[in-house]
Amino acid sequence: MAKVAIKVRDLRTSYGAHVVHEHLDMDVYEGEIVGVIGPSGSGKSVLLRAIVGLKKPDHGTVEVYGEDVTGLEGDELREVQTLWGIMFQDGALFSNLTVRENVMAPMREHTDLSKPFMRQLADQKIRMAGLETAAGDKFPSDLSGGMRKRAALARALALDPPILFLDEPTAGLDPITAGAFDKLVRDLQQSLSLTVFLVTHDLDTLAATCDRIVALGDKRVVAAGTMDELRAMDQPWLQEYFGGPRGRAAAAGVK
């Protein structure tokens, strides 16, 4: 059986009186791409933020490769953060830095590598993300939406992390660009043996990239399995999500 890379147990998160998650349990296995779905407001991105330490949970534990990371702060948190890279929905690139400088930012924070070597590594990550090396000299405002996504992916890969978190990676992209990005994620996952935690609402992305899907609802995980398994479940939101025209088309495209 595959090793558990991320284990979430009895998680509770809230903002004031608004409870987002309650008694949430979830496992992510090493080497798989997990797609996290759910209705608007179900806490998909909040769950991601809780796992990586950007949102402190009220209760529960998050283990990454067996280490409880829930209460880590300061240097301890910075050390464990090298285990993952994060690509946020809007890219979250530093607008005043070039693409290359953005990719070098995690290296500056977590390593003592020389600047020339960091530049070489950054250019390698830029190419791995499907951009030309020359894109490293450009600023985020000079890039198209698809290129900014790839630049953000290059930064997420900067420290060669075993885990990759992607928050709505294809949001705002046209179907052709989104399809190319889906293929890139799948190719990188296979070539680098990555574990990928992917928040999305895009049915095509689920069909093209994900080994398993986790559905959130009622403040917890309501279903987990393959797309076919979730489509067969007698759960109202899942039936509506997968049973509509787009869901049927996405499922048909896999076969």
Count Cβ neighbours within 10 Å for each residue of 190-221 and write b for 16 or more, e otherwise: eeeebbbbbbbbbbbbbbbbbebbbbbbebbb
pLDDT one-digit tens code per residue, 197-244: 999 999 999 999 999 999 999 999 999 999 999 999 999 999 999 986
Name the strands in the sheet holding 59-64, side by side, starting at the edge strand that comes first in the sequence: 18-29, 4-15, 59-64, 67-68
For position 250, what pLDDT does the model report? 56
For position 248, what pLDDT does the model report? 52
Q: Which one-letter DSSP state was computed for residue 42? A: S
Tokens representing 136 are: 């490293």
Q: Residue 245 pLDDT more than 80? A: no
Cβ atoms 104, 134 nearer than 8 A: no
State if pTM tops 0.85. Answer: yes
Please, which pLDDT band fits residue 90 given cuts at 50, 70 and 90?
A: confident
Beta-bridged to residue 198, according to DSSP, are 35, 166
- What is the homologous superfamily of the domain 4-252 according to CATH? P-loop containing nucleotide triphosphate hydrolases (3.40.50.300)
pLDDT one-digit tens code per residue, 94-134: 999 999 999 999 999 999 999 999 999 999 999 999 999 99
pLDDT one-digit tens code per residue, 152-206: 999 999 999 999 999 999 998 999 999 999 999 999 999 999 999 999 999 999 9
Q: Residue 253 pLDDT more than 70? A: no
Please, which pLDDT band fits residue 251 given cuts at 50, 70 and 90?
A: low
Please, which pLDDT band fits residue 22 given cuts at 50, 70 and 90?
A: very high
